[in-house]
Amino acid sequence: MHFTDPVAALLSCVLALVFVIKIINRWKSDKYKNFPPGPRPLPIIGNLHILNLKRPYLTLLKLSKEYGSVFSVHIGLQKTVVLAGYETVRDALVNHAEEFSERAHIPLFQKTSKGNGVIFSHGENWKVMRRFTLTALRDFGMGKRTIEDKIKEECESLLKNIETYQGKPFDNTTIMNAAVANIIVSIVLGHRYDYEDKTFLRLLSLINENFRLSASPMASLFNMYPTLFGFIPGDHKMMVKNVREIQTFIRTTFVEHLKDLDRNDQRSLIDAFLVRQQEEKPDPHIYFHDENLTCLVSHLFAAGMETTSTTLRWGLLLMIKYPEIQENVQKEIDRVMGSTKPQTEHRRHMSYTDAVIHEVQRFANILPMSLPHETTMDVQFKGYFIPKDTYVIPLLSSVLNDQAHFERPEEFNPQHFLDSDGKFLKKEAFIPFSAGRRVCAGENLAKMELFIFFTSLLQKFTFSSPADVTHVDISPGVGFTVPPLPHRICAVPRY
């Protein structure tokens, strides 16, 4: 049957109208008794009209003051529950770990990972991959002297590179990314890269670009309306292209590892995975397949580099902003370490420096909404009913800025982590790595890296702004993680 143009146009309008009516009816009828309260959504767009799309966590913090510690927002068509404040977030992620342990099925990450790897995987696959990851990280040095030695060696390379600038201004993004990335590379691949290696720099560039693109409007629109925006060019398409290039590199790398694989002499995480893959072959329920390895390595690359290097860049910028704090850290370094290379055992004798590093992590707040969770079953929580498969945002920004635990959360103040005697003070609300079953697998490695890199840099250099900069801007940038705004720094040798 053939339609004339007017009839075809009329039919299209009718179909569109039916679609809109169905959406409106869904909004009207799809309600649950005692579902967490929140701002009234509009059809199709939900609460997008009130969200700060660049920094949505700011809107969520504001809404938590109006609706309480458990509330809801509609992000496009997706109903989402937000958890605010330390007590509520911990109660959900720790005391109700089973109910809140699933990772949200985010379309963009589903497209790039397909449920594989560890960060965006689900169900039994996630459990198997997480157990393997924790074991492999431990076997290849996490928490041991071997990885500490690698960090110290990498610090030497970083310090020598910074010295070449001779106190002149430079952007530290790439160099910090490279230094931190080399630690996870040594675990995953069994070697490090030179900072000028073109392949290495390309990988760092792709990862950086994807962290930036993932917070772009087009990527957000794709996540909200994947069917509608799936065919439209934009940042989401570039992210997928970048991931494919990263995964091609990884696949080439583990093929090389297969050529001389020795189960009795495993050199890296990839070797350990490939050995498990060979052991698993007779099992019909296979988890150790190539797609899982590819995604696992790409996830470790990205997470192992981005979070720690971004925190270190915030740390140096805040030392420039507050030179008196930088000076106090250097005095403690001189008193405790002298000219000795920093070691993790120094940390227990350096309360002030430890407090500064913790405050950098708290203030920088680089993952303010954590990674979205999803309920595994219907949940009764804090007097509300949350149905199975509901997106859940543990608002870490509300935890790290919880006034019940941090006296002046809007300020950068190391005293938040010091008692009246100047001794380091643990704070239970300090959970920048999240909590519960989805807590960051590399938390212990990150803590070691932050301490050794930070103290090595301040032992060797005093950091300041270029002479032409009169104001140090510590406003947050925009990205999947929250970086400092682009800036240049000067590193003047102390001796």
Could you list the residues known to form a binding site for heme, using ranges.
440
Tokens standing for 481? 């993680």
Tokens standing for 443? 């938390």
Neighbours of 345 (CB within 10 A): 8
From first CA to last CA, the distance across the chain in angstroms is 86
Closest Cα to residue 100, out of 342, 365, 390?
390
Annotated binding site: 440
Residues in the chain: 495
DSSP-derived pairing of the beta strands 78-83 and 391-394: parallel
C-alpha–C-alpha distance, residues 422 and 335, integer Å: 15
Question: Is residue 440 a contact partner of residue 122, using CB atoms and an 8 Å limit?
Answer: no
C-alpha–C-alpha distance, residues 353 and 359, integer Å: 10
Closest Cα to residue 317, out of 87, 493, 475?
475
Neighbours of 306 (CB within 10 A): 24
Tokens standing for 12? 């299209």
Q: Which amino acid is at 33?
A: K
C-alpha–C-alpha distance, residues 182 and 226, integer Å: 35
C-alpha–C-alpha distance, residues 68 and 63, integer Å: 8
Q: Which residues are bridge partners to 73 per DSSP?
A: 80
Closest Cα to residue 254, out of 286, 279, 289, 283?
289
**Alpha helices (H) along 140-231:** 145-163, 173-188, 198-213, 217-224, 226-229
Q: Collapsing DSSP states into helix, strand and coil, what is residue 279?
A: helix
Closest Cα to residue 399, out of 365, 424, 375, 425?
365
Q: What is the DSSP string of 211-252?
A: HHHTTSHHHHHHHH-HHHHTTS-SHHHHHHHHHHHHHHHHHH
C-alpha–C-alpha distance, residues 41 and 340, integer Å: 59
For the four alpha carbons of 419, 90, 370 and 61, in that order, the dihedral sign comes to: negative
